[in-house]
């Protein structure tokens, strides 16, 4: 069976912003806004060995589920974020870090590659993902072929402030970004609106107000932004005609009624002593992985969630006929600050004006990260679905699979974890959990 994707019916967006601020404002008079662009072109065919790419993907996946553990501890509700967006934006910042600040960031982000390999690897991965977008010749713009992935970077700097050529070269060659100048000193509110407008455009209206009023002030010197927009059709159809209201069981024992989608199809599937897992493919090599803990086991399952467990579950999946029931859901404008979490995870100096060393950006010790804001949005329905999946450790031995000639049932009628990943590289773009499909 095939699935149809109505325009904008199914879309997920994540946006990360890092604001790098000066401790003092003594940096000369502002000048007219413009673009400071390195003369270096973007390296369109970076030479990156497969093992180097694999090392980067593994690092990003470890960081993704480190984040999950920190974020889940601070919020008992629904959760959705883009670890890839966060890693990408922090990698651009890491390019200007030195000393203990750089060491702390590398350890927290699991960056083990030297910088001369790390930034080209990010470039190669970014271009690999971007290449999945169909060309004009490959698509007829019909609902059956709908797919769009946009990953965009923009760096915003104070007009008149001097940034090192080496830093700008790294951004241009590996992230395809120059430095756009704004007058933070004299026009902070107008600068905020300009950045929010760029975000709104890149995410096709899904993220409209990333930077709240007051985020930008006269001490702002740099803002690094990354936006991801993803819109994809399922390969296998959930027919809207068979969607019906059914029961979803909340953790507190209460029940709610939600629209439940149904289909019987061959998917990659596995199960363990306390979970079931299924992979639902999208167009162009992406997939949603859903991990469904046994009833009453969600807290225990979630506590052990890490990258190694996710990789084990994905590696154990095999083709099975699955009778699948799952709820429609939508999260609008999930947002949070990551400053406190990343400080606790091991990179406090980056956020400390007395300790931060971003001298690789400007040759001084005056820059630090004032805040790190993240906002995400997702919609899942019959037309398509996008998700991020986190999985728990398999306790003991994987339970015996049902006979191959019998379909397995998977009824997602209780809280679950999900992720959206690229099946070719293993890169995890989005991670989330659904505690209540109605929000």
pLDDT tens digits for range 316-355: 999 999 999 999 988 775 678 888 999 999 999 998 989 9
* Least confident range of 11-15, 39-43, 68-72, 84-88: 11-15
Write the pLDDT tens digit of every residue in 168-199.
899 999 998 777 888 888 999 998 899 888 88
Domains of the chain (ranges; CATH) run: 12-232+331-379 (3.30.497.10), 240-328+385-434 (2.30.39.10)
CB 156 within 8 A of CB 225: yes
Per-residue pLDDT, 237:
66
State the chain's mean pLDDT as an integer: 82
pLDDT at residue 4 greater than cutoff 50: no
CB 112 within 8 A of CB 59: yes
Residue 284 in tokens: 């162009």
Distance, CA of 422 to CA of 425 (rounded, Å) = 6
Which phi and psi angles does 214 have, rounded to 5°? 95, -10
Q: Which residues contact residue 33 at a Cβ distance below 8 angstroms, ignoring those fewer than 6 apart?
A: 159, 180, 181, 182, 183
Higher pLDDT, 23 or 84: 84
Is residue 404 very low, low, confident or very high in pLDDT (cuts 50, 70, 90)?
low
**Angle between helix 115-130 and helix 83-94 axes, rounded to 10 deg:** 140
Residue 127 in tokens: 């271009």
Number of H helices, E strands in the chain: 10, 16
pLDDT at residue 167 greater than cutoff 60: yes
Give the DSSP letter string of 188-214: HHHHHHHHHHHHHHHTTTS---SS-TT
Per-residue pLDDT, 217:
84
Q: 222, 155, 214, 160: which is closest to 189 by C-alpha? A: 214
3-state helix, strand, coil in the chain (%, to 5): 30, 30, 40
What is the model's pTM?
Answer: 0.86
CB-neighbour burial class of residue 67 (10 A; exposed 0-12, middle 13-18, buried 19+): buried
Q: Residue holding tokens 């991801």? A: 228
């Amino acid at each position: 069976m095939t699935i149809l994707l109505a325009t904008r019916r199914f879309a997920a967006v994540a946006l990360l912003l890092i604001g790098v601020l000066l401790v003092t404002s003594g940096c000369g008079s502002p000048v007219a806004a413009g673009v400071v662009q390195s003369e270096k072109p973007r390296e369109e065919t970076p030479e990156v060995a497969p093992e180097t790419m694999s090392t980067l993907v593994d690092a990003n996946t470890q960081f993704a589920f480190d984040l999950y553990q920190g974020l889940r501890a601070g919020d008992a509700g629904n959760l959705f974020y883009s670890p890839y967006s966060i890693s990408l934006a922090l990698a651009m910042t890491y390019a200007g870090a030195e000393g203990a600040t750089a060491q702390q960031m590398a350890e927290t982000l699991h960056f083990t590659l030297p910088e001369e390999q790390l930034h080209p690897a990010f470039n190669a991965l970014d271009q690999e993902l971007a290449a999945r977008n169909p060309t004009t010749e490959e698509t007829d713009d019909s609902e059956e072929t709908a797919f769009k992935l946009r990953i965009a970077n923009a760096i915003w700097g104070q007009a008149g402030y001097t940034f090192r050529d080496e830093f700008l070269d790294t951004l241009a060659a590996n992230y395809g970004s120059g430095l756009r100048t704004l007058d933070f000193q004299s026009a902070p509110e107008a600068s905020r609106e300009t950045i929010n407008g760029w975000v709104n455009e890149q995410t096709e209206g899904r993220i409209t107000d990333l930077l709240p009023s007051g985020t930008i002030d006269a001490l702002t010197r740099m803002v690094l932004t990354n936006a991801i927009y993803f819109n994809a059709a399922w390969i296998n159809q959930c027919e809207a005609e068979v969607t019906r209201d059914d029961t979803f069981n909340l953790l507190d024992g209460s029940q709610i009624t939600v629209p439940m989608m149904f289909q019987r199809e061959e998917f990659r599937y596995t199960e363990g002593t306390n979970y079931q897992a299924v992979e639902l493919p999208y167009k162009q090599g992406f997939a949603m992985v859903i991990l469904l803990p046994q009833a009453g086991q969600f807290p225990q399952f979630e506590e052990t969630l890490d990258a190694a467990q996710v990789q084990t579950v994905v590696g154990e999946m095999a083709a099975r006929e699955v009778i699948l029931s799952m709820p429609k859901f939508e999260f609008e404008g999930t947002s949070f600050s990551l400053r406190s979490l990343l400080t606790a995870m091991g990179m406090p100096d980056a956020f400390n004006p007395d300790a931060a060393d971003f001298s690789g950006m400007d040759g001084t010790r005056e820059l630090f990260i004032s805040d790190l804001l993240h906002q995400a949005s997702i919609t899942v329905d019959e037309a398509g679905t996008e998700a991020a999946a986190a999985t728990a450790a398999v306790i003991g031995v994987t339970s015996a699979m049902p006979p191959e000639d019998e379909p397995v049932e998977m009824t997602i009628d209780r809280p679950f974890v999900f992720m959206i990943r690229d099946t070719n590289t293993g890169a995890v773009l989005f991670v989330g959990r659904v505690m209540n499909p109605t929000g």
